[in-house]
Copies of this chain bind each other. A is one copy, B any other.
């Protein structure tokens, strides 16, 4: 546990600015007096791209890597062609800093609305691989724009990359009361990658005899996420499947307004990055309508990553208490929710 935190802050586009302000407010309220918090803000995203044509330069990466961690709001704007900021900023950063553990907890808290009927119990965490799979940018296009165009996307999977994330997931499962780990893939169709994932998973499982394991195809996993979400404890999966099922997981466990994530480099060789799962939501930007809860919960993940467990627990508890009362309250602005959370955390 560090006595100082040097944080890179990337508010980004749309509602990013607003939610990050509240995240920082709650972070300050949570930290003890003797922990020094330094922040430096970086202006990345659509504005920078339009002004300079740059998304994330080598110089930017050099600066970012000096920090202990990164807090990001959201990147993306309809004025920028699809893919430019995603590949040029978000994914570039994940790959450059080797964020191979993409951690996405899903917990349906009391008082929170879910689109599911009944009273589902949802409390699991997805460990999504973050640096391989179909996200590597491998592939290409020939005869572009003609009737003979062929476009390929190559999913790259290495024993090294799969094993480290599978190990991380087993360790997390081992540390949870239920000790259950589900591998989600599509090994009956994507047999090359599927066999690698399944073999590694089976091999590492031998080292964790207390962890119950299961394998589920990604298509079936989407069914279970809506019919029996209580089935899941920890899920480990590839980059693309993780992208898809964590949005669904967020939807059933309270919506993307409360879904947090960490892009983690467990070795600490590079700073890890924490961000809400939601995007920049340009339609509601600047109106104080955005829910900062997902960012605040991402701050809790950040604190936990830096060893500040007690402070992270206090934030999680404040969010639970706030969410439990929301139904009874009139709608609040982004800042009002942030203020209320900061008061609870400090109190």
Contacts and interface: CB of A to CB of B under 8 A. Distances in A.
A253 to B, nearest CB: 11
A222 interface: yes
A115 B186 CA distance: 24
Chain A to chain B: the 5 pairs with minimum beta-carbon distance, closest first: A219-B247, A222-B248, A149-B159, A86-B188, A153-B155
A167 interface: no
A52 interface: no
A247 B223 CA distance: 6
Contacts of A153: 134, 154-155, 157, 190, 192-193
Contacts of A252: 226
B226 A248 contact: yes
Contacts of A140: 192
Interface of A: 82-83, 86-87, 91, 114-118, 134-135, 137, 139-141, 143, 145-160, 163, 186-196, 198-199, 218-220, 222-223, 225-227, 240, 243-248, 250-252, 255-256
A152 B159 CA distance: 11
A81 to B, nearest CB: 9
Contact of A195 (B151, B155, B190, B199): B151
A274 B148 CA distance: 30
A157 B154 CA distance: 11
Given A116-B117, A244-B244, A256 B223 contact: yes
Contact of A240 (B115, B186, B199): B186
A115 B155 CA distance: 33
B222 A222 contact: yes
Contacts of A218: 243-244
Contacts of A114: 117
Nearest to A196: B151
B226 A152 contact: no
Contact of A154 (B87, B154, B163): B154
Given A115-B116, A196-B149, A227 B240 contact: no
A255 to B, nearest CB: 8
A226 to B, nearest CB: 5
Contacts of A222: 222, 244-245, 247-248, 251
Given A139-B155, A147-B163, A153-B155, A189 B117 contact: no
9 contacts: A115-B226, A135-B189, A139-B154, A141-B196, A147-B160, A148-B158, A149-B159, A186-B240, A225-B248
Contacts of A139: 154-155, 190, 192-193
A115 B163 CA distance: 35
